[in-house]
Amino acid sequence: MKLGFRRGPKAPEEGARAGSDGGHAPASYGRIEATTAGTLPPERLWIRGAAFGVDLLLLAGGPLLLAAAVVFAVLLATPDPPLVLGRAFRVAQAVFLLLFLGRDTGGGSPGKRLLGLRIVRVDGARVSLTTSLVRNLPLLVPVWNLVEAASVLRRRDGRRPGDRAARTAVVES
């Protein structure tokens, strides 16, 4: 029974096999190679955004949610909150900040590794803590982080200013 939905080359006759794939077109969801070395193709940039979201959930969610739960529990348990409670929350914010800035040390953040991406230096050197700091520090500047996001979408190589400053690129692993 022919439904006539197939586009492209003519479908093989029944019983005939066009190669080892049984006459099927290649999968549209398969691994797409970068157009130039060290870049992600534009149709795969959503993975980079998803990895950033995973990083925010893991790195911000852990310390800040734990600190908020502790603060809430202490406020419920005592009539007068201790003075160090605010400092404890500030320490949790500092822990998040350090985790966020150093998240790409060793070649990739947890979100990037989970989604099959990695950070490489253009010169082939190892991604150090200093490289990660230079790469991620611009993301903390209000409004400039929007420029960073726009540059990923607009540049052919998909590198944001932080990537160029740190001489890094995001590639599929």
Indicate the Cα dihedral angle 18, 22, 25, 30, nearest 10°: -130
Residue 169 pLDDT grade (very low, low, confident, very high; cuts 50, 70, 90) = very high
Characterize 25-36 residue by residue with b for buried, 16 or more Cβ atoms within 10 angstroms of its Cβ, and e for exposed: eeeeeeeeebee
Q: DSSP secondary-structure letter at 142?
A: T
The reported pTM is 0.69
The per-residue pLDDT for range 32-86, each reduced to its tens digit, is 344 445 567 778 888 999 999 999 998 888 888 888 888 888 889 988 878 888 8
What does the block give as tokens for 131? 């490289």
145, 134 contact by CB (below 8 A): no
Chain center to CA of 99: 15
Domain ranges of the chain: 42-172
Phi, psi of 16 (to 5 degrees): -90, 145
What does the block give as tokens for 22? 């049984």
172, 38 contact by CB (below 8 A): no
